[in-house]
Amino acid sequence: MTDKSDSRLVILTGPSCAGKSPLASAIKQYRPQLAKSLAPLVLYNFRSPRPGEKDGRDYHFRSKHEIEELGENDRYLTFDVRGNLQAVDVEETQELFEVGNAFFEVNTFVAQALMHDRRLKTHQSVSIFLSPLSNDEIEEIKDSGTALEKVVTDLMRQKLIRRQRKKKVDLALPDLEDIERRAGNALEEL
């Protein structure tokens, strides 16, 4: 058990496919003591599990109706993230501080809400943002006169398609629609 006053909300955030999951895996592999001090917070999500995802580990997979009902309870924060209804249990987050740092690998929409929620303000928060482009690359794109939104959207579309193809052979229309939503929101998330 750790001193609760030293516990932090540690948020690993960035657009889809920026490398959050690989970084979290690398922490487990190369810094196991650090990983042990990071108690994972699991988000509620109404989408279907992707190949390899497990309920309770990657997300709490629930129906849209169940997540809407969570939103009626002050214990939960709910979010519409690119058309995907999600929720986080604030009390569960506070309970994680009893054993260490609450660790959350999440999109930027949820990260901002967690960092500003009054109930979590009693603990320090650390947010690590992963960007698919460096500041220098962004400035070079702007200086070239090329539309930054187009470059970021195209880059993220390629990354998201590559990730999906690694998981399954054929991409169905819902997969492509999800990729377009995520790629189209990447610049906003940056």
Strands 76-81 and 84-89: antiparallel
Q: What is the pLDDT of residues 124-154, one digit of tens each?
A: 888 999 999 999 999 999 999 999 999 999 9
DSSP SS3 for 131: coil
Q: Where are the domains of the chain?
A: 4-129, 135-189
Q: How confident is the model at residue 4 (pLDDT cuts 50, 70, 90)?
A: low
Q: What is the pLDDT of residues 60-80, one digit of tens each?
A: 999 999 999 999 999 999 988
pTM: 0.79
Specify the fold of 4-129.
Answer: Rossmann fold (3.40.50)
Strands 84-89 and 44-45: antiparallel
Per-residue DSSP letter, 132: S
Percent of the chain at pLDDT exceeding 90: 49
Angle at which helix 173-189 crosses helix 148-167, to 10 degrees, equals 140
